[in-house]
Amino acid sequence: MEQINSYIEKNKQRFLDELFELLRIPSVSADPKHKTDVLQCAEITRKKLAEAGAVNTEVCPTAGYPIVYGEKIIDPKLPTVIVYGHYDVQPADPLNLWHTKPFEPEIREGNIYARGSADDKGQFYMHVKAFELMMKTNTLPCNIKFMIEGEEEVGSVNLGEFVKQNKTRLKGDVILISDTSIIANDTPSISVGLRGLSYMEVEVTGPNKDLHSGVYGGAVGNPINILCELITSIKDTNGKITIPGFYDDVIEVSKEDRIEMAKAPFDLSEYKNELGVEDVTGENGFSTLERTSIRPTLDVNGMWGGYTGEGAKTVLPSKAFAKISMRLVPNQNSQKISDLFASHFKKIAPKTVKVKVTYHHGGEPIVTSSSSPAYKAASRAMETSFGKKPIPVRGGGSIPIVALFKKELGLDSILMGFGLDSDDIHSPNEKYGVFNYLKGIETIPHFFRFFAEGGK
Ligand code: BES
Ligand code: MN
Ligand code: MN
């Protein structure tokens, strides 16, 4: 323990400097303009792995962005931990809302401000530095394999194929991921579930061209008005989604489990305050924490159409668009829900418009055990470093690849993240606490030790 802390103390400035190097690369996977940056980030990640002591490091090509691989096998008879993370980041827009530039990291009040600081460069790099620490102090107790991908933020479309093609190389005992949050810096938690995702886009077409809203308004269906009506009708006044069959496969959480979950600390007024809202909303009969973890949702993520420029232009638009996400819970299936959405949306559209529904990426929901040897190792590791036993919680976000790891490799994932929900991931001014970064580096070697002792 002392060895870990003194190594971190001696090297923390370098740990930060190296993370900053990664954060300076705008590895935005969604934007083709950043292609060379994403590729450069992959190469630097590989180099960092090799410098930390990994062998067989490789930037593995896929049909999209590459997967960075590296490993250290100390004894094939010992257990193997596979570390997964992602070096790609979300776009930084809207740029004007950032207080400092998104790809020029800066520490203010103990936080590292930069796109990707918490999601996920700061978090996956903790594993690289914890690995370096174990190598340098001769304390790596089992085998380790790294798999850091570059397409998580765009749905991990090519990772599935990579996993299928590399089953031997990816033989292991558990997947370890830091890409989620803890409840608070003095209240550690481990995610034991993630929601799935169906992401749809709809295009509503009314008249075959934009029309004068005075000459035609009142007589011709306005696609924006109609799109709003359609979206509104997809939720009833109880906050329930009205798509027939939507809830059919939802596993209702037992009363006992809900009572257990309600013990996690949560302050509603603080929550509202932080978001600047006077009230919260959602499905009747469920708490805020439940609405964001054990229940499915439907949200419009973006909507456009008609005239949105300066001043006023009187126009009855020809088209309206929306991007809609549905967060799914076990045992909902992303393809099935997407199909239900598409057929329902087409069915409820009036004859005055035509609708086109397209599918974007999706992913399946998961729940993992809080009594497995790997979970217990993670729990003991956090208890050692935080001085407090972590609370198992179900998260609201999605990491679609976790369900795929289970299906293709038969492996469970441990979601031992160190971020905070208030880190503003995907938002302007994303940040990651220096405390969280160093705490992660401190906790990970404990996980390896406990897992190697009893994990196989
Ligand atoms: N790291 C997040 C997921 C996350 C964040 C889980 C916080 C739990 C707590 C991940 O990078 C992410 O953003 N996932 C996407 C899904 C993906 C298919 C684009 C998401 O949840 O929107
Ligand atoms: Mn992430
Ligand atoms: Mn993300």
Q: In CATH, what number is assigned to the domain containing residue 371?
A: 3.40.630.10
Please give the pLDDT value at position 445: 98
Whether 359 and 369 share a structural domain? no
Domain range for 355 is 196-250+296-363
Note whether residue 284 is domain-resident.
no
- Rounded Cα gap, residues 2 and 13, in angstroms: 18
Pick the catalytic residue: 88, 120, 173, 430? Answer: 88
| CATH number of the domain where residue 359 is located | 3.30.70.360
Contacts for 329 with CB less than 8 Å, ≥ 6 apart: 195, 196, 250, 251, 294, 295, 296, 365
Q: Give the whole-angstrom CA distance, residue 110 versus residue 131.
A: 24
The conformation of residue 415, written as its DSSP 8-state character, comes to: E
Mean pLDDT of the chain: 97
Q: What separation in Å is there between the alpha carbon of 211 and the centre of ligand 2?
A: 44
Closest CA to 174 of 84, 85, 86, 80: 80
CA of 205 to the centre of ligand 1 (A): 32
261 found inside a domain? no
407-454 per-position pLDDT tens digit: 999 999 999 999 999 999 999 999 999 999 999 999 999 999 999 998
Looking at the fold, whether 132 and 78 belong to one and the same domain comes out as yes
Residue 265 is assigned to a structural domain of this protein = no
Q: Is the CB of 193 under 6 A from ligand 1?
A: no
Note the pLDDT of residue 101.
Answer: 98
Shared domain check, 73 and 9: yes
Domain termination residue (choose one: 329, 363, 397):
363
Which parts of 68-209 fold into alpha helices (H)? Answer: 121-136, 159-165
Average pLDDT over residues 242-256: 97
pLDDT of residue 1: 73
Give yes or no for a contact between 149 and 88, defined as CB atoms under 8 angstroms apart.
yes
CA distance 344 to 355: 11
Residue whose CA is at the smallest distance from ligand 1 atom 16: 398
pLDDT tens for 3-25 read 999 999 999 999 999 999 999 99
The per-residue pLDDT for 376 is 97
Q: Are 27 and 87 in contact (CB under 8 A)?
A: yes
CB 129 within 8 A of CB 53: no
CA-closest candidate to residue 317, choices 387, 195, 216: 216
Residues 398 and 292: beta-carbon distance below 8 Å = no
Percent of the residues in the chain that have a pLDDT greater than 90, as a whole number: 98
pLDDT band at 2, cuts 50/70/90? confident
Instruction: Give the residue among 381, 436, 450, 449 at the shortest CA–CA distance from 125.
Output: 436
Tell me: do 375 and 305 sit in the same domain. Answer: no
Question: What pLDDT score was predicted for residue 361?
Answer: 85
Q: In the beta sheet, which residues pair with residue 111?
A: 108, 433
262 lies in a domain? Answer: no
Name the residue among 48, 140, 55 with its Cα closest to residue 87.
48
Do the bridges between strand 181-182 and strand 419-420 make them parallel or antiparallel, or are there none, so unpaired? parallel
Distance between Cα 153 and ligand 3 center (Å): 5
**pLDDT, tens digit (0-9, with 9 covering 90-100), for 396-408:** 999 999 999 999 9
Residue that terminates a domain, selected from 363, 385, 407: 363
Amino acid in position 127: H
Are residues 120 and 232 both part of a single domain? Answer: no
One domain, residues 203 and 313: yes
Place of tokens 């995702």: 197
Q: Is 152 in the pocket of ligand 1 (CB under 6 A)?
A: yes
pLDDT tens-digit series, residues 192-206: 999 999 999 999 999
pLDDT single digits (tens) 37-46: 999 999 999 9
SS3 content of the chain, % helix, strand, coil (to 5): 35, 25, 40
Q: What backbone torsions phi and psi does residue 347 show, to the nearest 5 degrees? A: -70, -40
**How large is the average pLDDT for residues 343-365?**
96
Ligand 1 pocket member 442 (CB < 6 A): no
Catalytic residue from among 152, 179, 364, 442: 152
What are 55-64's contacts with CB under 8 Å, separation 24+?
60/162, 60/166, 62/151, 62/158, 62/159, 62/161, 62/162, 63/157, 63/158, 63/161, 64/150, 64/151, 64/154, 64/157, 64/158
Indicate if 372 and 409 belong to the same structural domain: yes
100 C-alpha to center of ligand 3: Å? Answer: 20
398 lines ligand 1 (CB under 6 A): yes
| Residue 259 domain-assigned (yes or no) | no
Shared domain check, 122 and 226: no
Distance of CA 7 to the CA centre of its chain: 30
- Same domain membership, residue 346 and residue 382: no
Does residue 61 fall inside a structural domain? yes
Measured in Å, residue 356 CA sits from the centre of ligand 1 at 27
Same domain, 104 and 158: yes
Q: Are residues 353 and 302 in the same domain?
A: yes
- Distance, CA of 89 to CA of 148 (rounded, Å): 12
Confidence check: pLDDT of 252 > 90: yes
Closest listed residue to residue 404, CA positions, set 52, 120, 149, 128:
149
Distance CA 28, CA 277 (A): 31
How much is the pLDDT for 451? Answer: 98
Sequence-ordered list of residues with C-beta below 8 angstroms from that of 42, at least 6 positions apart, any chain = 59, 65, 66, 68, 87, 150
Q: Give strand pairing partners of 68.
A: 59, 148
| 38 plus 100 within the same structural domain | yes
Query: Does the annotation count 153 as an active-site position?
Result: no
Please report, for residues 122, 254, 401, 448, the alpha-carbon distance to residue 86 in angstroms, rounded to integers and kept in the order given: 10, 34, 11, 21
∠ CA 333-336-341, rounded to 5°: 120
Q: Over 90: is that where the pLDDT of 372 sits?
A: yes
Which ligand sits nearest to residue 401's alpha carbon?
1
267 domain residue, yes or no? no
Task: Give per-residue pLDDT as tens, 155-182.
Answer: 999 999 999 999 999 999 999 999 999 9
Instruction: Point out the ligand nearest to the CA of residue 115.
Output: 3
The pLDDT of residue 455 is 47
Give 294-351 pLDDT, tens digit per residue. Answer: 999 999 999 999 999 999 999 999 999 999 999 999 999 999 999 999 999 999 999 9
Question: In the chain, how many domains are there?
Answer: 2
What confidence score (pLDDT) does residue 292 get? 97
pLDDT tens string 54-102? 999 999 999 999 999 999 999 999 999 999 999 999 999 999 999 999 9
Instruction: Report which bound ligand comes closest to the CA of 153.
Output: 1
Question: With 0-12 CB in 10 A as exposed, 13-18 as middle and 19+ as buried, what is 246?
Answer: buried
List C-alpha distances in Å: 22 to 37, 120, 205, 250, 438: 10, 11, 44, 40, 16
Look at residue 456 and tell me whether its pLDDT is greater than 50. Answer: no
Identify the pLDDT of residue 454: 85
For residue 287, count other CB atoms closer than 10 A to its CB: 17
User: pLDDT class for 235, splitting at 50, 70, 90?
Assistant: very high
Q: Is residue 335 part of a domain?
A: yes
Tokens 């596979």 -> residue = 82
- For ligand 1, atom 9, the nearest C-alpha belongs to 180
Which of 363, 383, 416 lies at the terminal end of a domain, its last residue?
363
